Amino acid sequence: MRRRIALLLMMILVLTLPVLGLTEGGEEDYSLDDDEWVIDGITVEEVSLDEPETVQAPASVTARDRFIDDMIEMGRELYEKANGKPQRAYYKGDIYVCKNFTTYLFRENRANYRMAEYPGVTLVIPDNLPAKECRPYAYGLAWKEVPASEGNPFYAAASFRYDSSLSKEENMALAMDFMRQVQRGDFFQMTGNYGSGSGAHSAIMLAYDPETDSIHWMDSNMRHKKINGINYGYVQFDEVRTVEWWAKNFCQRKCGATIYRLRDDIVFADSIPSGGQ
C-alpha cells in the first residue's frame, strides 16, 4: 500500500514539473543564441566574466609642452619661409643671428605663458654671460644667471667645461655623455669651433635618438656665407648629427656648453586669475 502511494506521488510530481526547452508546439526552440536565456518571457544575455578592455585616455598636453610646440612650429615656419636661401645675420636686430633666432622664437610665444610660482612676472630669456665673466673660458658657453623671480623660466640642466687636467679622450667621453642628456625643447648654448664657424652658438634641441646616438635640432647661422661683406645665415630645422659630432664642436680647450631647460611649472597665462601675483 505504501509503495503504491509513493509511486502515485512521484507520478504527480513529474507531471507538474515545467517542460524546459520546448515551444508551444512541443519542439525544441533554437531561436536564441547560446549566450541567451528566456526567463519568464524575458530574454537575458549572458554576462561575460572577462575583464573589460582598458582604454587609456590620451595624456593631456601641458602648458610647458604647448610652449615648446609653439616655438618649434614657428621655427619650422621660418625655415620653410627661408626656402633654403640665406637670411641676413649681420646687424644687431637681425633675427637670423644664432642667439637672436632662439630668443625671437621665445619672445614671440612667451605672452601666453607664465610660471606658476611667479604668475605675475613676464617670462624673459637671459642674455649671454659677458666675456669677462666667462674667464678662463671663452665667451658664449653660458647665459647670465637671472633668477626665476625676475622672469627666467630656465634652469641649467647640464653643463660641460673642458678640463685640462684630463686627457682629450676623457673630455670627449664626458662631452658625449653630456650631449645624451638633451631633451625636446632644450635651449643649447656653446662656444667652440664647429667647422663652418667658431665662437658662440645657440640652438634649440628637438630630440636625442638613442638608437642612432644622434641629436635633432634647429638653429640659424651655424652655416653661413658672406654676400658683399655682410654675413647671411641659413635656417636649419630637424638637422641631425651624431653625439660625437656635437661633442667635437665644443670639446676644446677653454670651451664648453650648457643645456638650458624650461621649468616644470609653466602654466597658461589665461589660467591665472586677474591680478595674480
Strands 256-262 and 87-88: unpaired
> Is the pLDDT confidence value at 13 over 50?
no
Work out the pLDDT band at 275, boundaries 50, 70, 90. low
Distance CA 192, CA 203 (A): 14
pLDDT at 59: 61
> Is the pLDDT confidence value at 24 over 80?
no
Instruction: Give Cβ neighbours of residue 159 (< 8 Å, ≥ 6 apart).
Output: 142, 178, 256, 257, 258, 259
Work out the pLDDT band at 60, boundaries 50, 70, 90. confident
Distance CA 232, CA 154 (A): 29
User: Picking from 7-11, 168-172, 236-240, which range would have the lowest pLDDT averaged per residue?
Assistant: 7-11
206: three-class secondary structure by DSSP: strand
Task: Give the alpha-carbon dihedral of 191, 192, 196, 201, to 10 degrees.
Answer: -10
Handedness of CA 234, 235, 241, 245 (dihedral sign): positive
Handedness of CA 152, 158, 164, 165 (dihedral sign): positive
How much of the chain, in percent, has pLDDT values that exceed 90? 74
Distance CA 28, CA 21 (A): 5
pLDDT at 272: 83
Work out the pLDDT band at 23, boundaries 50, 70, 90. very low
pLDDT at 207: 98
Work out the pLDDT band at 197, boundaries 50, 70, 90. confident
Query: Which residue reads 638633451 in cell numbers?
Result: 182
How much of the chain, in percent, has pLDDT values that exceed 70? 78
pLDDT at 271: 87
Task: List, for residues 101-152, the tens digit of each pLDDT value.
Answer: 999 999 999 999 999 999 999 999 999 999 999 999 999 999 999 999 999 9
